[in-house]
Amino acid sequence: MGIITILWEKWVEFRRDFYKITLAAMIAPLMYLIVFGMGIQTTSHGQPYLNFLIPGVVSLTTMNGSFNAIAQNLNVQRLYEKAFDQVMISPTPLWQFIAGQIIGGSLRGLYAGGIILLLTAPIETGLIFNGWSFLVMFLNGAVFSAIGVVVSFLAKNHADVPRFSNYIIMPMAYLCNTFFSTEKLPGFIGKFVSALPLSQTSHLMRSISSGEAVNYAGIGILLLYLLVFTVAASWFIYKKKNL
């Protein structure tokens, strides 16, 4: 019941801000597609650059949608509304609260990525998006939702979440196999960036959309990231409970 309660809260929030959420999910990715995919006519890996770009932008959109849905809201609830203190004294098990936040955030990211798929569907690219694509999008959203929970507890004030986004999320958005392959990055930097969750998601989305076999190792890496950040989020929440 605790998970359902959290998801219902997210649904009410989504329904209330539906137009804002939808427009926010559309504008930046559309600009990327128009400027880089249509404005700059080039090829990548022997195919139109737009075919390379779309899976990356979908991955990027799920990341931003999930992270922003959790980190900012939970930080405000914790520091300013003090609503999280009510969660602590409620009968809802904290693990259900964490699971609800992660699932709710990943669904928000899935929605944002789905919008981009709908907008690009009329473009004849030959790309394939199937159930595996949506699973990868959901896992990516879950990873960054868990990161959002962690960041919301690390933040000391309202400005810390945007700072984290500028220092971590934005560089990942541009470097992690979204607009160009991580193979072009030199040495250790390339290996490090290629191991990050957004790079794994972009690679998975790109291989699935090209009709290649599913890379189960990539899905395993996303699950490992999800486990690590879920444990970290749980540690922060249970630590606060015991203060």
Give the bridge partners for 82, in sequence order: none
Rounded alpha-carbon distances, angstroms, from residue 185 to 87, 176, 188, 189, 213: 45, 10, 8, 6, 25
104-154 per-position pLDDT tens digit: 999 999 999 999 998 888 887 888 899 999 999 999 999 999 999 998 888
Closest CA to 120 of 47, 56, 64: 56
pTM for this entry? 0.85
- Three-state SS at 212: coil
How long is the chain?
A: 243
* pLDDT reading at 83 higher than 70: no
- Kindly state the DSSP code that residue 81 receives in the 8-state scheme: S
Spatial CB neighbours of 57, under 8 Å, sequence gap ≥ 6? 29, 32, 33, 116, 178
Task: Write phi, then psi, for 91 (nearest 5 degrees).
Answer: -75, -5
Calculated CA dihedral for residues 115, 117, 121, 123, nearest 10 degrees: 110
- Three-state SS at 135: helix
Most confident residue range from 46-50, 65-69, 219-223: 219-223
* pLDDT reading at 216 higher than 90: yes
The mean pLDDT value of the chain amounts to 83
CB of 49 within 8 A of CB of 36?
A: yes
CA dihedral sign, ordered 69, 224, 2, 135: positive
The DSSP bridge pattern shows strands 47-48 and 43-44 to be: antiparallel
In this prediction, residue 231 carries a pLDDT of 93
Q: What is the mean pLDDT of residues 83-89?
A: 67
Q: How confident is the model at residue 243 (pLDDT cuts 50, 70, 90)?
A: very low
In this prediction, residue 84 carries a pLDDT of 67
CB atoms under 10 Å from CB of 169, counted, come to 22
* pLDDT reading at 18 higher than 90: no
